[in-house]
Structure 1
């Protein structure tokens, strides 16, 4: 059974009317997967502890954010109004990506039905990201037996600026960002590997640029684990994306990542990442494809996990 990580709190914090964050897509995706009766098993995370957050972020920033004392200008940079529910949701999602790592190490592959908060930096949040779950999960993975190098493969349409900055002094965490060149954020600190793509890039150009570079990255860095941000804001209809992948193109991207990792016996902890549309329901089929691709390749991951 493919492990999926989810908590109802993911779609449960107050936002102003008309806010563009697609809050309900997590609940809608979970309900869709339940109706399909797929060979998956759901797991609920618990909130991350202060200790693991302070290991990645500035403790003073963490204290202000948790207490609701962060200056308004910094909350505006994050893009959410502060609330107790927002903090509960954020801490639980951090615990969820860490739990996804644990299940991936047990089963070869696991998926978190949120995650990918890659714009959170050491002492500030940005772009709907309070804390950087990818970096926290990577640091957690490195404490596990046999994991000496983690690669974060970030295919969200926006550059993983927070992750790149946080991992700059960590040679055991390799950052690989595939993103739209002319898109948020304006300042893009260098990842270990960056693949900036022109506005309007479609399926063929995207896949022919990305997948061979992924092959080279896996061969060069030889990671013991991959954390995969499978953002669907690369879709041609995305409100914030500026790339032009089709629905099938996103499936081929996800399948390409998973098949390559399975071939090399590399466990994968995946998060669904970004995706923006006025109709939250419209995002569900795009995110669902990651689970469908995972089910096709899961037997390969599971068998390699059993051998090891």
Structure 2
């Protein structure tokens, strides 16, 4: 089968372009999803928001330098179409993105309001749509391989009806809805949201859905302060400014164990934000790089020990140093055996790369 060949078993009542997003991959490809179109850059406007709009490309480059991936072993997703997005988003919300002023509010970059919308669509929203397609694909690969990582995604402030906080599409909700629709073995999902901010988007989307269990660990003193959305959280851990490694890791460990005792998911969606890092201008927590790596290791180990498929998205992180930390964490997961390539003998390894 050719690389990224579309699946052909399409249900007759399909309302989305499933073949465009659900791709088959070679056994020699890691279920790590990325393409250069993730990165945002236009006239320097991306520098007006603290989010590092080139973070995803640097994560990928560090993984290449770590001899984990090559271009031919990387899964390249397709762009989510309007029909794909309509699985969650209303037509009125999608139409609202055709007004640059609305996109400026979502991205928190005011000058975007003055750009022609065709430029906004191409330079700002198109990268988000590719990342959204990547999250949907990574979830499908996680079911097949036991794990999947989208180097982008994690737009947890966006719900079906509204965006915000640099999140224009509800990729987490979409990934879960696609699994529920197209995989009869997936009946229940758990979202483990460890970004520094409350994941109010997916919380609003799954408010009344008992199939989805949400664990959210966040700084209660920062954006978005969405009291209504908190009603959807089944395992809520509110942190104070300046929380450090020991307290943080103990809380995540204890509450994740409790969550897995209360609820037995068929898949875990892990929102692995790095804005918990000490010095992050928006997270206001005090977690070290080693603490982040230990957190990811803990989450993956518990999921893999219980044989629960896990899909990770990279979400927030507002310092340039976070790209290296994300890559180091993924490399650590490989070194510990928590993630592996299906055809290990033919996948990239430090020994398998040319000098």
Using the size of structure 2 for normalisation, the TM-score is 0.79
Residues matched between the structures, number: 297
Task: Say whether 1:23 aligns with 2:53.
Answer: yes
Give the C-alpha shift of residue 174 in structure 1.
Answer: 1.6
In structure 1, the partner of 2:191 is 152
Do the aligned partners of residues 39 and 62 (structure 1) sit closer, same or farther apart at CA in structure 2, a change above 3 Å counting? Answer: closer
Task: Say whether 1:259 aligns with 2:301.
Answer: yes
Look up the SS of the partner of 1:129 in the other structure.
Answer: coil
Partner residue of 2:105 out of 76, 94, 113: 76
In structure 1, the partner of 2:347 is none
Task: Say whether 1:298 aligns with 2:338.
Answer: yes
Task: Say whether 1:115 aligns with 2:153.
Answer: yes
Task: Say whether 1:87 aligns with 2:87.
Answer: no
Give the C-alpha shift of residue 283 in structure 1.
Answer: 1.8
Task: Say whether 1:235 aligns with 2:277.
Answer: yes
Look up the SS of the partner of 1:43 in the other structure.
Answer: coil
Partner residue of 1:44 out of 76, 84, 107: 76
Cα shift readout 1:107-157 (whole Å, capped 9, x = no counterpart): 111111111100012322100000111110111122313111011111000
Partner residue of 2:175 out of 128, 137, 143: 137
Give the C-alpha shift of residue 253 in structure 1.
Answer: 0.7
Partner residue of 1:283 out of 302, 322, 331: 322
Give the C-alpha shift of residue 297 in structure 1.
Answer: 3.4
In structure 2, the partner of 1:244 is 286
Look up the SS of the partner of 1:140 in the other structure.
Answer: helix
Look up the SS of the partner of 2:337 in the other structure.
Answer: helix
In structure 1, the partner of 2:18 is none
Give the C-alpha shift of residue 63 in structure 1.
Answer: 2.1
**Contact 1:259–1:297 (8 Å) recurs in 2:** no
Give the C-alpha shift of residue 55 in structure 1.
Answer: 2.1
In structure 2, the partner of 1:5 is 33
Do the aligned partners of residues 157 and 301 (structure 1) sit closer, same or farther apart at CA in structure 2, a change above 3 Å counting? Answer: farther
In structure 1, the partner of 2:21 is none
**Contact 1:262–1:297 (8 Å) recurs in 2:** no
Cα shift readout 1:30-82 (whole Å, capped 9, x = no counterpart): 111112212673111001132331121221111231xx226x25632442426
Do the aligned partners of residues 39 and 198 (structure 1) sit closer, same or farther apart at CA in structure 2, a change above 3 Å counting? Answer: same
* Structure-1 separation of matches of 2:318 and 2:68: 25
Look up the SS of the partner of 1:182 in the other structure.
Answer: coil
- When Rg is computed on C-alpha atoms for both structures, the one with the higher figure is 2
* Structure-2 separation of matches of 1:35 and 1:198: 36
Deviates more, 1:259-268 or 1:180-189: 180-189
User: Superposition pairs for residues 158-173 of structure 1, below 5 Å?
Assistant: 158-173=197-212
Do the aligned partners of residues 170 and 51 (structure 1) sit closer, same or farther apart at CA in structure 2, a change above 3 Å counting? Answer: farther
**Contact 1:108–1:302 (8 Å) recurs in 2:** no
Using the size of structure 1 for normalisation, the TM-score is 0.90
Do the aligned partners of residues 74 and 19 (structure 1) sit closer, same or farther apart at CA in structure 2, a change above 3 Å counting? Answer: closer
Aligned-pair Cα RMSD in Å: 2.0
Ranges in structure 2 where 5+ consecutive residues have no aligned partner: 1-28, 344-355
